[in-house]
Amino acid sequence: MADAQKPEHRKYTGNIFVYYAFDVGDDINLEQIENLPEIITRPLKVSKHFKGYHIPLSIELPHPHSSSRCISTKLYNFGVFSLCYKIPFNQTLSDLRATLNDIDAEFREQSVEDAQLIFKKLRNFIKQARFFHLRTSYVVIQVDQQPDIVSTELKKDFGNIIASLVRFETETLSEYQKNEILESAIGYYRGDLIIIDIDSAFVYDDEYDEILDLFEFANIQHVELQYYDRVLDMLLNKVYQREVSGPPLKAYIPLLGMFTKDPVSSLGLLRVEISVIIERLESTLKATAEAYIEETYTLLAQKLDLKGWKESVTSKLEIIKDIYQVHQNKIDVNREDLLSLLVIILIAIELVVGILSYLKH
């Protein structure tokens, strides 16, 4: 067999999709941004598998910019920018493995430049704006299917390279690591192959458009769960260090306390806000989604440990709920004591007035 015909010398075509999610604030006013003359919106194709809880605003990168590979820029109202880059390739899988780390490093830097460009234009429309609170990324290596190569042959001939690719390694992994990565492979048709790992996925499927939305969405979930986990950590540290003061005096006064904002009440409001957003993010995938879509998303969520991050956030929300309840009980008890004291004072005043009136007669 000539060298050009050997499996390791065969060139493959495809694309590398790199997704970045930046948390830049608490809230983005999409309606105002959409009406800005300097912002050019793009048509948005919403996947049939997702509910319309968090429909983003799709825009073009503000000019001037030097990013030719950015194919998607989306703004989400809960404070997230999502950017996607598409890098085509035509090379052997071994050569792709050797260059993947350089591609990843290049677009990490590019994504920061592009996201910062958007942020500078829109920071006045972002609540609690900051560039940036947190960033996550996910890489999808999409390889075009070859009519004479099915997924089983691809795994057999290139299993070592594919396993290294999804781990961003340039050397061959151990047999144990390779088998662990390849055992989670899934596919819909006979020739399909999808391997999902922690930071990247390998997709050997011509009809890949539908599942790309899953990778972007899971990456957004990942950044939001990490962000909320970090916010709750900081708040709980303040509570533990007694940096959060008790309710102000006017909070104990009936009616007037309704209009009082204090740190503990803010914790309660934050708990509700985070719970609502997480619940909607988690239930965005429709229950009627195809089994293959659900299987892919379930595996992706498992690899990103979305369940673990959610449990961490939920646990901290419960702690905050308990803290809020303790402080609320303290306010209620003190209000009752205050009312009792006022009643006693009024009775005493009435008694003194009665005695004085009697003495005058």
- SS (HEC) of 251-269: HHCCCHHHHCCCHHHHHHH
Residue 319 structure tokens? 């702690």
3-class SS of residue 44 = coil
For each of the chain's 361 residues, which pLDDT tens digit applies?
444 456 678 899 999 999 999 999 989 999 999 999 989 999 988 888 887 778 899 999 988 877 889 999 999 999 999 999 999 999 999 999 999 999 999 999 999 999 999 999 999 999 999 999 899 999 999 999 988 888 888 888 899 999 999 999 999 899 999 999 998 888 877 778 999 999 999 999 888 888 899 999 999 999 999 999 998 888 888 777 665 555 555 555 555 554 455 556 666 677 788 888 888 887 777 766 688 888 899 999 999 999 999 999 988 888 877 877 777 777 777 778 778 888 899 898 988 888 888 777 6
Residue 11 structure tokens? 């060139």
Please give the pLDDT value at position 1: 40
Q: What is the CA radius of gyration of the chain?
A: 29
- CB count within 10 Å of CB 297 equals 21
Please name which of 321, 329, 222, 315 lies closest in space to residue 270, comparing C-alpha atoms: 321
Alpha-carbon dihedral sign for residues 26, 30, 36, 41: positive
Residue 346 structure tokens? 């009024």
Report angle CA 258, 259, 263 to the nearest 5 degrees: 95
pTM of the shown model:
0.83
DSSP letter (8 states) at residue 174: P
CA distance 176 to 332: 60
Q: β-strand 134-143 against 200-204: which pairing, if any?
A: parallel
Please give the pLDDT value at position 354: 82
Please give the pLDDT value at position 304: 94
CA distance 270 to 268: 5
Please give the pLDDT value at position 48: 82
Q: Which residues pair with 27 in a beta bridge?
A: 127
CA distance 84 to 220: 12
Please name which of 85, 86, 82, 63 lies closest in space to residue 74, comparing C-alpha atoms: 82
* Element at 330 (helix H, strand E): helix 306-360
